[in-house]
Amino acid sequence: MGDPTPKNEGRLSLNPLRHLEWVGSFIVPLLLILTNSPFLFGWARPVPINIAYYRHPQRDLALVAFAGPLSNLILALLLSVLISLFPPEGIFSLVVALLVYVNIILALFNLIPLPPLDGSKIIQAILPARLASAFLSGGKWGFAVVIGLFWFFPSVLDGLASWARGVTIFLLGG
């Protein structure tokens, strides 16, 4: 959308190592595993943006926010095509099927309309400016709300996982 910031920061990369972040990618997931948490959670470094470059800030922000979940869905689709080219048994098929599932989970999760997730930026673009501002003012608490939602209402996470399983099974032709 005309913003050179992600490119200038070296974040337009398919190399997953450029997106890892120590706390969110390693420490928090490890602590959750060690404490037998009912869910596993983590995050990558956010891609920096500068909406001052956007010609239509609200619309362009929503499109940029949707790019992440869309790329997860496209990757899941491409992987499901790839898996159809190989015999259904074996470790390769299992790993690719897991990657399809993980990408669908990531897409659905990031579309949840709570800051700092991408879904909140999409909702922000739909809401009138005054409501969008009020909606995003709670953003500093968004991360805690997301964690609390999954911790106290695991059925939300179960529902998300169930949707992802259904889409994965559909894509894999099962």
- Sequence-distant (6+) residues with CB within 8 A of 167 are 76, 104
| pLDDT at residue 88, rounded to an integer | 73
Q: What is the pLDDT of the chain when averaged over all its residues?
A: 86
Query: Which amino acid type is present at position 75?
Result: L
Q: Are residue 49 and residue 96 in the same domain, yes or no?
A: no
Q: Are residue 10 and residue 36 in the same domain, yes or no?
A: yes
Q: Are residue 62 and residue 49 in the same domain, yes or no?
A: no
- Which of 9, 28, 53 is the endpoint of a domain? 53
- Which of 37, 53, 69 is the endpoint of a domain? 53
Q: Is residue 137 predicted with pLDDT exceeding 90?
A: no
Q: Are residue 46 and residue 87 in the same domain, yes or no?
A: no
Render pLDDT for 64-118 as a digit per residue (tens, 0 to 9): 999 989 999 999 999 999 888 877 778 888 888 899 999 999 999 899 888 888 9
Q: Are residue 18 and residue 61 in the same domain, yes or no?
A: no
Longest dimension (CA), the chain: 54
Q: Are residue 34 and residue 114 in the same domain, yes or no?
A: no
DSSP state string for 137-152: HGGGGHHHHHHHHHHH
| Residue (of 58, 37, 39) closest to 124 by Cα position | 58
User: Which residue range(s) make up the domain with 7?
Assistant: 1-53
Omega prior to 116 cis, within 30 of 0: yes
Q: Are residue 77 and residue 138 in the same domain, yes or no?
A: yes
| pLDDT at residue 40, rounded to an integer | 79
Q: Are residue 94 and residue 158 in the same domain, yes or no?
A: yes
Q: Are residue 22 and residue 104 in the same domain, yes or no?
A: no
Would you say 48 and 6 are in contact if contact means Cβ atoms under 8 Å apart? yes
| pLDDT at residue 66, rounded to an integer | 94
Render pLDDT for 53-63 as a digit per residue (tens, 0 to 9): 999 988 899 99
129: DSSP letter: H
Q: Is residue 14 predicted with pLDDT exceeding 80?
A: no
Q: Is residue 11 predicted with pLDDT exceeding 90?
A: no
Q: Are residue 40 and residue 28 in the same domain, yes or no?
A: yes
